[in-house]
Amino acid sequence: MTGGGEARPAAEDRRIGPAILEMRNITLRFGGVTAIHDISFDVREGEIRAIIGPNGAGKSSMLNVISGFYRPQEGEVWFRGERRRRLRPYEVARQGIARTFQNIALFQGMSVLDNIMTGRLNLMGASILAQALWWGRAEREEVAHRGKVERIIDFLEIQHVRKTPVGRLPYGLKKRVELARALAAEPRILLLDEPMAGMNVEEKEDMCRFILDANDEFGTTIVLIEHDMGVVMDLSDRVVVMDYGRKIADGPPETVRTDRAVIDAYLGVAHG
């Protein structure tokens, strides 16, 4: 019933588990504007879940609700079977939800390696005093984390820029570094805000491959936002379609593709 393009094994063959994240009746308002209107959907463990919709549909707002940057006025977020209390963004990150940003938020002055290492901050244990007094342990820990990070660097094919300050990299590579940093946190859920925006065809294909591989190899659950329909359909197991803050469709790509409301939202329809 679910499944993507031809190259993609059917969902049943992969390890797709029960729902890890549930959004229940989420409503988000900014003053008088309702950005998200009573939306519910779930994300299953191990799947690639897409949120699509035209510009201004509220996709990024939804992602920001999941990652704790926005707090919805109504509705509940259930994560791993528990209702989530109000959390700050850094607490959400510590629970295992990593993200990338539409406009890339990297540490421009730090090297690629250091940027990716920040992804592992929460997996490092040594306290500040221990680090100062017990240099050996801090060093061993650092080396172990470096090993993991190097693996991700290999995986995303960015070895050649490891030591380069991120500020000097071209756009496409920055996007890749941001993905690397998010993956370094070994997240339970990875949120990608328009990972393909502003890329040329070749870069898009690369990015698609990386996302699919990350999902296959690490079993990472991925929630991604795109407004490019084509990309999403090949990539995702299930798709939520939003328009003007409302959910207008939800299901596997082939069902959503032929949905009347979706076609209207994307192509425009004469009202009257």
Q: Which residues bind another protein (CB under 8 A)?
A: 67, 69, 88-91, 93-94, 98-99, 101, 105-110, 114, 117-119, 121-122, 124, 126, 128, 131-132, 138-139, 142, 165, 167-168, 170, 181, 185
Q: CB-wise, 72 or 253, nearer to another protein? A: 72
Least distance from another protein to the Cβ atom of residue 121, Å: 5
Least distance from another protein to the Cβ atom of residue 88, Å: 8
Least distance from another protein to the Cβ atom of residue 139, Å: 8
Q: CB-wise, 44 or 99, nearer to another protein? A: 99
Under 8 Å between Cβ of 66 and 159: no
DSSP string of 17-82, one letter each residue: -SEEEEEEEEEEEETTEEEEEEEEEEEETT-EEEEE-STTSSHHHHHHHHTTSS--SEEEEEETTE
Task: Tell which residue, 153, 149, 177, 190, has the closest CA to residue 46.
Answer: 190
Q: CB-wise, 2 or 100, nearer to another protein? A: 100
Least distance from another protein to the Cβ atom of residue 101, Å: 7
Spatial distance between the Cα atoms of 248 and 262, rounded to a whole number of angstroms = 7
- What is each CA distance from 264 to 39, 67, 241, 257, 268, in whole angstroms? 20, 30, 12, 11, 5
Q: CB-wise, 126 or 229, nearer to another protein? A: 126
Contacts of 200 (CB under 8 A, 6+ apart): 172
Q: CB-wise, 139 or 217, nearer to another protein? A: 139
Spatial distance between the Cα atoms of 85 and 83, rounded to a whole number of angstroms = 6
Least distance from another protein to the Cβ atom of residue 135, Å: 9
